[in-house]
Amino acid sequence: MSQDSAPKKEKDKAPAQKQEKKSGFTKTEVMIPMRDGVKLNTMILVPNDTTEKLPFLMQRTPYGIGGADLGVRFGPMAKEGYIFVFQDVRGRFKSEGIFAMMSAGVRDRKDPKGTDDTTDAYDTIEWLLKNVENNNGRVGIYGVSYPGWLAAMALLDPHPALKAASPQSSPIDQWMGDDFRHNGAFRLSYGFEYTAMMETDKTNQLYKFDKLDTYDWYLKLGALSNVNERLFKNKMPTWNNFVKHPDYDAFWRDQALVPYLNKITVPTLNVTGWFDQEDFRGPLKIYEYLEKVDKDNKNFLVVGPWNHGGWGGAGSSLGKIDFGSATGTYFREKIQAPFFAYYLKDKGDLKQPEALLFQTGSNKWVSHDKWPVKNAITKKLYFHSDRKLSFNAPEANETEFDGYRSDPNNPVPYRPRPIRATYQGPGWSDWVVQDQRFNDHRPDVLTYQTEPLEEDIVIGGSITAKLFAATSGTDSDWMVRIIDVYPESYRQPDMSGYQLMISGEPLRGRYRKSFEKPEPIVPNQVEEYSIDLHWNHHCFQKGHRIMVQVSSTWFPVIDRNPQKYVPNIFEAKDSDFQAADQKVYHSPKAPSHMELMIMPNEPKAVGSR
C-alpha cells in the first residue's frame, strides 16, 4: 500500500491490513470504507516479482472471498500480471452493513447519500487507485452470475478508471426470466433454496431437507403459503418480497437494469452459455440493450455450449453431450485473457468479433458481425394432428386439438427423479441437457415432432412459441420445450434417439395480456399465448427431428399453478388447487406454432477451436 496518500478524515484511513506472501503473490486483507462509512472486506493479491505498473482485475461477490485467490493464482490471467481484488458485498461474510438481495434495486439517483452496488464498486476503485502501489490507473471487473450482475452494476455510473468489464451470466430482471421468476411463473426450488442459503445468516447455508427427492418434499409442502407458516416464519426478506410482489410491479421494475443500460462507455464482454440453468435471459438482454447505444463498437457477445459458469472448466462436454473441443479453455485463453490485456495493458491487437457464438449441433465457433443474423428468415413450424410438426399450415380436415388433464397433485417432473436439492448433489448443473425421453410418455405431456430433416436447419436468432390453447380452469401455466431428437441409429449408439432440449420456458396464463395486471382466464375459451424461448444458434442436423413438448407443470423448478384464479398464488391455500382439462389447438383458425429465425445459408465458421 502506498504511504503517500494520507487520508484526511478518520473514516478514510486505510484500516489495519493482514499480509501474506504465497505462490507468487502478496495477499493483503483490508476493510475498505464506502462513502457512508460501511467497510467492505477486500482481498488484494499483488504479484511478487513485477517491475511494471499493473492494472486491477476485480471481482465482487456475495458468496465469500475465502479461497477466491486459488482460482486466479493458477488461471491464465495470473501469468499476464494483474493486481487481483476480491470483495465481499455489504452484509455478507466479513463485510459490514446490511445485505439486500441485489442491493434491493438500483439506488434512488436523486438521493446524494444513496448507495448501491454501483457506488460500492466506484468507492472501491477510488480507494484502490489511491492506496495500492504500482498500479497503472486502470481497472477491469468481471464475475459470473451474482458477481456478473455486480460487474454490470459497476457499469451504470462507471468510475473513469474502469476500462473493461465482463458481466458473465448476469441476471437482468429477476421477474421476467432469471433465477426467481420466468414470465411470471415462480422458480420454486431455486427461489426457496437460494433464499435460505443467503438469508439464514451471513455465510452460505444449504437448506437441510429431510428427503433425498425434493420432488416429494415440495409436493408435501403444498401451497406456497405454507412456507412462511411452517418454515421461514416471515424471517427471510427475499421470500417476503416474493409474497408481497406477485406481479410485475415497481419493486421488480426498479431492480431491473433495463432503464439504466442507456449508454456504454466501458468496453463490455457479455458472456453466457446456451445451456445456462440459472441466468440465460439476462446476459442476452444486457447485450441487446447495450447494443442499441453502442456507437463505438464496445459491446461484444460470447455464447458457448455451457451451463451456468461452464467456461470455468474445460467445456469439452456437458452431461452426455460432447462438443468436440475444450471450449472453456479456448474462451479463457483466447477470448477473455486477450480482451482484458488489450483494454487494461494495451497488449495485442484485439480482433474480437461482434458476436462469437458456438453453434451447437454442428459443434463449431461462428463469428457474426450482427446478431441476430441480418438475413435470418422467420419461419412458422406448425402443430398438426397425429402429433406432427411441419412448415405447412394446418388444414381444415385435421382434428382441431389435442387434450390432456393437468393435475397439480401429480405434476410433470422437470428432470428424472430423484431430484436432489439444487446445490446439494448431482443433477442441477446439467439438467437442461438431460435426455427428455423420461417424460414424453406421460399423458399430461403433448409431444409433436417433424419427420427426419432432409437438410440442416440452423437457428440464427429467436425462438418463440405461439400457442392457441384453452383450459377448463381460470388460470393455467403453459410450458413449451423445443428438442433436437437424434436419429435412431446414431454414430454414438448410446445417443440414439436422444432428446436434447434446446430451450424451454413457462408462461403463467394470468399474465398473457399484461405482466403488471393479471387476469383470470375464461374457462374453455381459446386464447393465444406467446412464449419467448430466446435467442439460439443450434443446428438441427439432417436426419434429426425437431420436437416440441407442451405441458402445464414442470416441478419443482416451477411452482404449481392452482389452475383456479386466486389474487396471489403465494397466498393460495392447499384447497385452491384443482385439476384442469387442457386443449392445444392446431386448426386453420387456431394454428399453434413455433416461430423460428432460420439462417438461409451457413455462416462463416471460425472452426472448432
Binding site for ligand PG9 (CB under 6 A): 102, 145-146, 149, 171, 179, 194, 278-279
Burial class (CB within 10 angstroms; exposed 0-12, middle 13-18, buried 19+) of 595 = middle
Q: How far is the CB of 374 from ligand PG9 (least distance, A)?
A: 32
Q: Which is nearer to ligand PG9, 143 or 461 (CB)?
A: 143
Burial 373-404 (b: 16+ CB within 10 A, else e): beebeeeebbbbbeebbbeeebeeeeebbbeb
Q: Which is nearer to ligand PG9, 421 or 469 (CB)?
A: 421
Alpha-carbon torsion, ordered 558, 308, 343, 316, to 10 deg: -150
Q: Which is nearer to ligand PG9, 149 or 192 (CB)?
A: 149
Q: Which is nearer to ligand PG9, 100 or 243 (CB)?
A: 100
Question: Taking a C-beta distance cutoff of 8 angstroms, is the pair 316, 141 a contact?
Answer: no
* C-alpha span between 398 and 215 (Å, rounded): 38
Q: How far is the CB of 251 from ligand PG9 (least distance, A)?
A: 15
Q: How far is the CB of 291 from ligand PG9 (least distance, A)?
A: 22
Q: Which is nearer to ligand PG9, 174 or 503 (CB)?
A: 174
Q: Which amino acid is at 205?
A: Q
The cell 493464482 sits on which residue? 73
* C-alpha span between 450 and 391 (Å, rounded): 9
Q: Nearest CA to 277 among 183, 394, 414?
A: 414
Q: How far is the CB of 479 from ligand PG9 (least distance, A)?
A: 20
* C-alpha span between 593 and 574 (Å, rounded): 34
Name the helix (H) or strand (E) containing 448: strand 446-449
Q: How far is the CB of 279 from ligand PG9 (least distance, A)?
A: 5
Q: How far is the CB of 61 from ligand PG9 (least distance, A)?
A: 9
Q: How far is the CB of 435 from ligand PG9 (least distance, A)?
A: 24
Q: How far is the CB of 173 from ligand PG9 (least distance, A)?
A: 11
Per-residue DSSP letter, 360: B
Q: How far is the CB of 101 from ligand PG9 (least distance, A)?
A: 7
Q: Which is nearer to ligand PG9, 215 or 280 (CB)?
A: 280
Q: Which three cell numbers stand for residue 359?
A: 453453434
Q: Which residue's C-beta sits nearest to ligand PG9? A: 145
Compute φ and ψ for 410, nearest 5 degrees.
Answer: -140, 65
Q: Which is nearer to ligand PG9, 179 or 435 (CB)?
A: 179
Q: Which is nearer to ligand PG9, 194 or 343 (CB)?
A: 194
Per-residue DSSP letter, 311: G
Q: Which is nearer to ligand PG9, 402 or 559 (CB)?
A: 559
The cell 479456448 sits on which residue? 330
Strand partners, 483: 501, 547
Q: Which amino acid is at 472?
A: S
The cell 385439476 sits on which residue? 579
The cell 460432447 sits on which residue? 322
Q: How far is the CB of 157 from ligand PG9 (least distance, A)?
A: 20
Q: Is the dihedral of CA 140, 143, 146, 152 positive or negative?
A: positive
Q: Nearest CA to 175 among 113, 251, 248?
A: 248
Q: Which is nearer to ligand PG9, 28 or 238 (CB)?
A: 238
* C-alpha span between 26 and 15 (Å, rounded): 17
Q: How far is the CB of 114 from ligand PG9 (least distance, A)?
A: 21
Q: Which is nearer to ligand PG9, 245 or 564 (CB)?
A: 245
Rg (CA), the chain: 25
Q: Nearest CA to 306 among 350, 271, 276, 345?
A: 276
